[in-house]
Structure 1
Amino acid sequence: MPFTDESSASQDKRLGQSPARVCLLIGQLGLGGAEKQLVLLARGLSARGIRTHLLVMFKKGPREEELKGTGVHVVELGFRPRSVGWRAYAVNIRALARLVGFLRKERPQVLQAFLFAAYVIAAPAAVLARVPVLVAGRRSLGYFKEGNRLALAVEAVATRWTDFLVANSTAIADEVRREEGVPAAKISVIRNGMRRSEFEPAEPATVVTSLPVVLCVANLGAHKGHRYLLTACSALRSSGYPCTLVLIGDGPERTRLEQMADSLGIDARFLGARTDVAGFLARADVVVLPSLYEGSSNAVMEAMAAGRPVVATAVGGTPELLEGRGMLVPPADAAGLAAGLQHVLSDRDAADAMGRKAYEWAMANLTDDVMVDCYVNLYRHLLESRPME
Structure 2
Amino acid sequence: MESTGLAEDRTAVTGGDGGGPLHVLFVVPSLHGGGAEFVARTWMAWLVSRGHRVTVVTTSGKPTDEFLPAGVEARTLAGQRGQSRKTAALRRILTAAHPDVAVALQAHPNLVLLAAARGMGAAKPPVIISERNLVSLGLAGADLSHRMKIFTAKRLYRHADHVIAISHPVAGELVSGFGVSGERCTVVPNPATAKVAPGTRVDRVPGTAAGVQLVLPCRLVKQKRPHLAILAAAELASRGIPAEVISFGGGPLLDDLVKLAEERGVVFRPMGWVENWFEHFGSNSVVLLPSDREGFGNVLVEAAAAGVPSVAVSGALGVADAIVPGITGELALTAEPSDLADAVERAAELELTGIDRWLDRFSPAGSGAALERVLRRTIAARRG
User: Which of the five TM-score ranges fits, normalised by the shorter chain?
Assistant: 0.7 to 0.9
Query: 1:271-290 counterparts in 2 under 5 A?
Result: 271-281=271-281, 285-290=285-290
Instruction: Specify which of 374, 377, 387 is matched with residue 383 of structure 2.
Output: 387
Query: 1:81-100 counterparts in 2 under 5 A?
Result: 88-89=81-82, 92-100=83-91
**Uncovered stretches (5+) of structure 2, i.e. residues with no partner:** 1-8, 204-209
* 3-state SS of 1:198 partner: coil
Instruction: Specify which of 147, 150, 174 is matched with residue 148 of structure 2.
Output: 150
Question: What percentage of aligned pairs have identical amino acids?
Answer: 22
Q: Deviations over 1:4-23 (max 9, x none)?
A: xxx98686444231552111
Q: TM-score, normalised by structure 1?
A: 0.84
Amino acid at match of 2:343: G
- Give 1 or 2: higher helix fraction: 1
Tell me how far 1:72 sits from its aligned partner. 1.3
Instruction: Specify which of 171, 176, 192 is matched with residue 194 of structure 1.
Output: 192
- My pick for the range that moved more, 192-201 or 265-274, is 192-201
| Whole-angstrom distance in 1 between the partners of 2:185 and 2:193 | 25
| Whole-angstrom distance in 2 between the partners of 1:61 and 1:275 | 19
Instruction: Specify which of 154, 179, 182 is matched with residue 181 of structure 1.
Output: 179
| Whole-angstrom distance in 2 between the partners of 1:9 and 1:276 | 32
Tell me how far 1:202 sits from its aligned partner. 4.1
Q: Does the 8 Å contact 2:29/2:37 carry over to 1?
A: no
| Whole-angstrom distance in 1 between the partners of 2:194 and 2:293 | 28
Q: Does the 8 Å contact 1:232/1:338 carry over to 2?
A: yes
Q: Does the 8 Å contact 1:43/1:67 carry over to 2?
A: no
| Whole-angstrom distance in 1 between the partners of 2:282 and 2:95 | 48
- My pick for the range that moved more, 299-308 or 124-133, is 124-133
Q: Does the 8 Å contact 1:110/1:131 carry over to 2?
A: no
| Whole-angstrom distance in 2 between the partners of 1:308 and 1:371 | 22
Q: Does the 8 Å contact 1:112/1:136 carry over to 2?
A: yes
Q: Deviations over 1:287-326 (max 9, x none)?
A: 1111111111011010111111112212322223323412
| Whole-angstrom distance in 1 between the partners of 2:20 and 2:63 | 29
Q: Does the 8 Å contact 1:166/1:189 carry over to 2?
A: yes
| Whole-angstrom distance in 2 between the partners of 1:61 and 1:351 | 43
Q: Does the 8 Å contact 2:171/2:186 carry over to 1?
A: yes
Tell me how far 1:201 sits from its aligned partner. 3.5
Distance 1:284 1:22, change over 3 A: farther
Distance 1:79 1:356, change over 3 A: farther
Instruction: Specify which of 325, 339, 353 is matched with residue 356 of structure 1.
Output: 353
Amino acid at match of 1:342: E
Q: Deviations over 1:322-352 (max 9, x none)?
A: 234121102421111112223344xxxx322
* 3-state SS of 1:228 partner: helix
Q: Does the 8 Å contact 2:105/2:129 carry over to 1?
A: yes
Distance 1:222 1:197, change over 3 A: closer
Tell me how far 1:28 sits from its aligned partner. 2.1
| Alignment partner, residue 85 of structure 1 | none
Is 1:374 aligned to residue 370 of structure 2?
yes
Distance 1:79 1:287, change over 3 A: farther
| Whole-angstrom distance in 1 between the partners of 2:60 and 2:195 | 30
| Alignment partner, residue 245 of structure 2 | 245
Is 1:110 aligned to residue 88 of structure 2?
no
Query: 1:1-389 counterparts in 2 under 5 A?
Result: 12-60=14-62, 64-68=65-69, 70-78=70-78, 88-89=81-82, 92-129=83-120, 130-142=123-135, 143-145=137-139, 150-195=148-193, 198-202=196-200, 212-281=212-281, 285-314=285-314, 315-324=316-325, 325=327, 326-345=329-348, 350-352=349-351, 355-357=352-354, 359-387=355-383
Distance 1:121 1:49, change over 3 A: same
Q: Deviations over 1:189-232 (max 9, x none)?
A: 11111356615234979xxxx86422121111112121222111
| Whole-angstrom distance in 2 between the partners of 1:223 and 1:42 | 30
Amino acid at match of 2:244: T
Tell me how far 1:53 sits from its aligned partner. 1.3
Q: Does the 8 Å contact 2:323/2:330 carry over to 1?
A: yes
Tell me how far 1:96 sits from its aligned partner. 2.9
Distance 1:19 1:126, change over 3 A: farther
**Uncovered stretches (5+) of structure 1, i.e. residues with no partner:** 1-6, 81-87
* 3-state SS of 2:133 partner: coil
| Whole-angstrom distance in 2 between the partners of 1:75 and 1:265 | 52
- My pick for the range that moved more, 237-246 or 37-46, is 237-246
Q: Does the 8 Å contact 1:304/1:362 carry over to 2?
A: no
Amino acid at match of 1:356: T
Tell me how far 1:98 sits from its aligned partner. 2.3
Amino acid at match of 1:103: L
Distance 1:284 1:73, change over 3 A: farther
| Whole-angstrom distance in 2 between the partners of 1:232 and 1:152 | 35
Tell me how far 1:57 sits from its aligned partner. 0.6
Distance 1:127 1:385, change over 3 A: same
| Whole-angstrom distance in 1 between the partners of 2:21 and 2:148 | 35
Amino acid at match of 1:339: D
| Whole-angstrom distance in 1 between the partners of 2:344 and 2:12 | 45
* 3-state SS of 1:272 partner: coil
* 3-state SS of 1:166 partner: strand
Cα root mean square deviation, aligned: 2.7
Distance 1:61 1:312, change over 3 A: farther
